[in-house]
Structure 1
């Protein structure tokens, strides 16, 4: 049931952001990135994965695909740890990053 819910949520995120993604690699990497975090509560794990998938596709759009999937997943991991796993804080950090990126204040190679 959990896998089905993650796939369904992923489809919704893709539709929301007008994206096409033919494989589940990003989702698998997001899962691997946060699974062992001390902030991951196994009771709401699926919900967190669904939210982070949404953040991932948001950042892909907002950075105009100029940042690789792995770099975005690393950012999400940093945001997750920095905000103690709180989704609203992760979303705020992602929005700030996107704004800074658009204003050319972010250099991903640093």
Structure 2
């Protein structure tokens, strides 16, 4: 049967499209001395897919990856030597936080929060970023619970 062959060709086509989308970002990132090679992109996508699998998430597009690249390429704490490893770790932090906040924060907003903390109080430390974002997620969940409870009280009082 030709079905496996068709699926394989579709998969290859999707991989090529993703690769070309991410390679296109190199034009802007050259300003910051940051360029991803095709092999680095493949490695990063592989790491991203593992994070998604490990966290029980599904993501069909590459918008989060593209936005992480766009936003974090401007960080003074990312250079050509740590660029790929930082992007891999930032994917992990992002998807962890998406789970911890139950997807209640918009992707772009979450990436901005990550960037502000990374460049600010965390001074480029991913470990410190994870810690600060765990605290953020805990506060976020408590606030969301309070809002839900407050909303229920108002509805029950009518």
- TM-score, scaled relative to structure 2: 0.64
Distance across 2 between alignment mates of 1:12 and 1:96: 25
| Alignment partner of 1:86 is 2:125 | yes
Greater relative CO, 1 or 2 (CA 8 Å, sep 6+): 1
Aligned counterpart in structure 2 of residue 103 of structure 1, from 136, 142, 151: 142
Aligned counterpart in structure 2 of residue 69 of structure 1, from 103, 107, 128: 107
Whichever of the two has the greater Rg, that structure is: 2
Q: Relative to total residues, which structure has the larger helix share, 1 or 2?
A: 2
Runs of 4+ in structure 1 off by over 2 angstroms are none
Per the TM alignment, residue 46 of structure 1 is displaced from its structure 2 partner at its CA by: 0.4
Superposed CA RMSD: 1.1
Aligned length: 105
Stretches of structure 2 that go unaligned for 5 or more consecutive residues are 1-38, 145-158
Stretches of structure 1 that go unaligned for 5 or more consecutive residues are 106-110
